[in-house]
């Protein structure tokens, strides 16, 4: 392999089912000390992964491995945009939509083999104002689901389903927005406004199954408010027939868009499975082409899922 590689692991011990452990002995069964210098860092609190990643960059890590769910991946990857440092992923979370798109196994040993192979590709990065997203972001019911989901102690599929039903059944105040995508302009109260870079949002669910991480485009899906029966129909199609477009939804492929809030000075949004309040009347959403270097299985090298 040549020069010894410095690999830093950022471990979120409470991702997914919690009690995650990734110790030195497990890692070195695959990554030998002759070719790799291994550093393990464990997050101590929320948003700690970003600070640990910054320190690892200063310590000249060649690759930084996000060990957790999509939220942990977002924290780590956000520090690596436009950087030569490689991102790796160990799937310790529940959804792991980006890792699934990239073909990274849930098996820790197989994910370590990907790191050992040291093959990387460049992927696109979504931006919304000053924030990055790598899998997806959303407003409307998607943001409310994640807001409810955050309140559960354990992040598992059953918790996600409970949060989804809570968001579906509860009446939310209208959020009137102006949406602009190229020459398309519309004022609406969206039930769904989903912007995706990857083809999965976790749990094998997808609004955008043909999305590519390397096409320089964002896949956008939105609907206006629906009746309860229409919501159930949309949800059923999402689970059981995700490759079919829903007839009451609109679909766009774009490299930039704008959302203006007609009533409030902030947006409740979700970015890569994490709830966030963005303090602004306007969201500028765009794509940075090939801005992140990611370790992937050899079979995915230079891939385009389309």
Q: What is the pLDDT of residue 263?
A: 86
204: left (phi > 0), else alpha (psi -120 to 50), else beta?
Answer: left
Q: So what's the pLDDT on residue 146? A: 78
Identify the burial level of 81 via C-beta atoms within 10 angstroms of its C-beta, where 0-12 means exposed, 13-18 middle and 19 or more buried.
Answer: middle
Pair type for strands 218-224 and 250-254: antiparallel
User: How far, in Å, CA of 295 to CA of 46, rounded?
Assistant: 25
pTM for the full model? 0.90
Task: Summarize pLDDT for 9-42 with one digit per residue, the tens.
Answer: 999 988 756 556 788 999 999 999 999 999 999 9
Q: Which two three-digit tokens encode residue 133? A: 């997203």
86 phi, psi to nearest 5 deg: -85, 145
- SS3 percent helix, strand, coil of the chain, rounded to 5, is 25, 35, 40
Up-side HSE of residue 71: CA atoms within 13 Å toward CB?
21
Per-residue confidence (pLDDT) for residue 30, from 0 to 100:
97
Q: Are 155 and 93 in contact (CB under 8 A)?
A: yes
Q: In the chain, what are the domains? A: 5-118 (3.40.50.10330), 131-289 (2.60.200.40)
Nearest CA-CA partner of 164 in 220, 219, 202: 202
Per-residue pLDDT of the chain (306 residues; tens, 9 = 90+): 568 999 999 999 887 565 567 889 999 999 999 999 999 999 999 899 999 999 999 999 999 999 999 999 999 999 999 999 999 999 998 778 899 999 999 999 999 999 999 999 999 999 999 999 999 999 988 888 877 666 665 666 666 667 666 666 666 777 899 999 999 999 999 999 999 999 998 777 888 999 999 999 999 999 998 888 888 888 788 777 777 888 899 999 999 999 999 888 999 999 998 999 999 999 999 999 999 999 999 876 545 544
**pLDDT score for 158:** 66
Residue showing tokens 């963005």: 278
Q: How many helices (H) and strands (E) does the chain have?
A: 8, 16
Which phi and psi angles does 296 have, rounded to 5°?
-135, 160
Measured distance CA(217)–CA(254) in Å, rounded = 5
């Amino acid at each position: 392999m040549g020069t010894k590689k410095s690999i830093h692991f950022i471990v979120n011990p409470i991702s997914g089912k919690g009690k995650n452990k990734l110790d030195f002995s497990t890692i070195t069964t695959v990554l030998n000390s002759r070719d790799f210098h291994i550093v393990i860092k464990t997050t101590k609190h929320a948003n700690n992964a970003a600070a640990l990643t910054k320190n690892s960059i200063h310590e000249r890590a060649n690759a930084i491995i996000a060990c957790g769910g999509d939220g942990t991946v977002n924290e780590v990857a956000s520090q690596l945009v436009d950087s030569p440092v490689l991102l790796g992923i160990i799937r310790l979370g529940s959804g792991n939509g980006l890792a699934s798109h990239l073909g990274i196994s849930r098996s820790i040993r197989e994910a370590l083999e990907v790191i050992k192979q040291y093959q990387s590709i460049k992927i696109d990065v979504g931006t919304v104002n000053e924030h990055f997203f790598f899998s997806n972001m959303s407003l409307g019911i998607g943001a409310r689901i994640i807001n409810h989901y955050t309140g559960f102690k354990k992040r598992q599929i059953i918790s996600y389903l409970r949060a989804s039903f809570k968001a579906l059944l509860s009446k939310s105040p209208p959020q009137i927005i102006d949406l602009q995508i190229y020459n398309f302009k519309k004022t609406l109260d969206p039930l769904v406004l989903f912007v995706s870079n990857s083809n999965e949002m976790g749990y094998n669910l997808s609004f955008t199954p043909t999305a590519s991480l390397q096409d320089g485009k964002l896949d956008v899906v939105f609907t206006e408010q629906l009746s309860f029966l229409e919501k159930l129909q949309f949800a059923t199609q999402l689970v059981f027939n995700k490759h079919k477009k829903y007839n009451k939804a609109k679909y766009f492929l774009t490299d930039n868009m704008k959302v203006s809030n007609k009533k409030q000075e902030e947006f409740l949004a979700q970015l890569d499975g994490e709830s966030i309040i963005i303090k602004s009347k306007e969201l500028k959403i765009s794509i940075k082409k090939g801005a992140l270097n990611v370790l992937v299985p050899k079979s995915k090298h230079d891939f385009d899922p389309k």
